[in-house]
Amino acid sequence: MRFQSIVGGLLWLMAATAASTAAMPSATALPVVPDAPAPDAAMRVQAANDQSVQDAMHGRYLDASFGLLAHLGVASAGDIQDADVFDQWAQVMSCMTGMPTFNPAKAADFHVPEEQLADLRAAHGVSALAEIVRRARRTSIVILDENHLDPRGRAFGLEVARALRPLGYTVLAAEALKRDADDAVSRDKMAALSKDGYPRQTSGYYLHDPVFADFLRQSLALGYRLVSYETTRTDYAADPGEAQAQREQDQADNLIRRALEQAPAGKILIYAGEHHAAERPIAAEGAKVEMMAQRLKRATGIDPLTIDQAGLSPIPMNRPDADLYAIAEPKTHGRSVVLMRHGKPLTVGLLAGSVDLQVVHPRTTLVAGRPQWLEGMGRTPSSIPQALLPTAGTRLVQAFVAREGDDAIAVDQVLVAPGTAAPALMLPSLPVRYAVQERDAR
């Protein structure tokens, strides 16, 4: 049985390597050596994926998605055979639509025991935010994970940040923030980001998602201090388990030095990728590796509140052999819930028994062609200016907060094609400016 490491970790490593390179490859063509033999299929797929990462890092969303298909020589994403490459395409598309995409190239990679399914069927949901707030009062560290493929979790991250702020939580540590080996350099960059009040294209790979960028933008406005804690290490051991263990330890060490030691009496919200929130080893890492949350708990003596919102996603990154979301979602009744069984929180799937709470979000409904949950971020539907609608080809229409710099992340963006109803832009009550990206009619 193949266990797939988080795509985010793979993309993080690729982005880290790319970001340290002075010369960036062309976004329009791959290098060709005269009279050289054609690269084999695996090399072409890897080159196309690498180019997509590069394009996404520079905010070239259409090149990173439609361009990826062109480099692969396929007509649609459904023709992508590599599961990780499909996830890269889907991740970029979610930055333009706010919606995750089912990956047909993935097979189930872990088994859910029948007793867990029985418990899930018998569980009931209670308000997620209310339960999180109740439990967050008892600790000073809250760890919330995400599914890198689903922006919905980032909007919920903002809801959690809002709810924890009155409890004295003042630090937001985000795995996605650009990493630096030197603590002083990282601190200076975070101070500059705080002064700006918004992320830039260089702030971190995953922050190119407008939902994620606005999560941080609004958290800064709430008074949170940002902390980056991802490792810069690239000299990992050849053994995948040892490499993962070193990454988890580096993350925990960075959090201790940059967050906890800087404010010993402070309270911290940590926003991480799915696996890192586990308080015991999980099957995806060979059931041997201690994850960041477990290492942080042991080093500090603080029992964190750990919250998973990835395992019960409609499109989980690690796919179970049962549709857990289909069983859990009817218990939401239109709100985000955590599951309870016999008066205690229930956790199932990959992180069963490894986290304190597991969140289930209701199915996404659309308002003016856009996810309704964007309204919870303080957005209202706004028509695209007529002059920006395309007459041919596919166009990405972007809206930026007017006061922010040219390298800011759009506050919202949508894909538009002629002959179809244009979705609305979901905009805050702020002046905005517009920009477009497009590909030709081909």
- Reported as a single tens digit per residue, the pLDDT across 91-147 is 999 999 999 999 998 999 899 999 999 999 999 999 999 999 999 999 999 999 999
Q: Mean pLDDT over residues 3-8, rounded?
A: 38
Question: pTM for the complete prediction?
Answer: 0.90
- What is the sign of the dihedral through the CA atoms of 45, 276, 106 and 4? positive
- Alpha-carbon distance of 30 to 71, in angstroms, equals 9
What is the reported pLDDT for 134? 98
CA-to-CA dists, residue 387 to 139, 384, 416, 442, angstroms: 52, 8, 13, 22
How far apart, in whole angstroms, are the C-alpha atoms of residue 39 and residue 49? 15
Q: What is the distance between the alpha carbons of residues 397 and 390, in angstroms, rounded to a whole number?
A: 9
Q: Rounded distance, CA 251 to CA 10, Å?
A: 16
Closest by CA to 224, choosing from 170, 177, 260, is 170
Instruction: Enter the tokens of residue 77.
Output: 């994403």
Q: Each residue of 205-247: pLDDT tens digit?
A: 999 999 999 999 999 999 999 999 999 877 766 788 888 899 9
- Please say if the pLDDT value at position 17 is more than 60: no
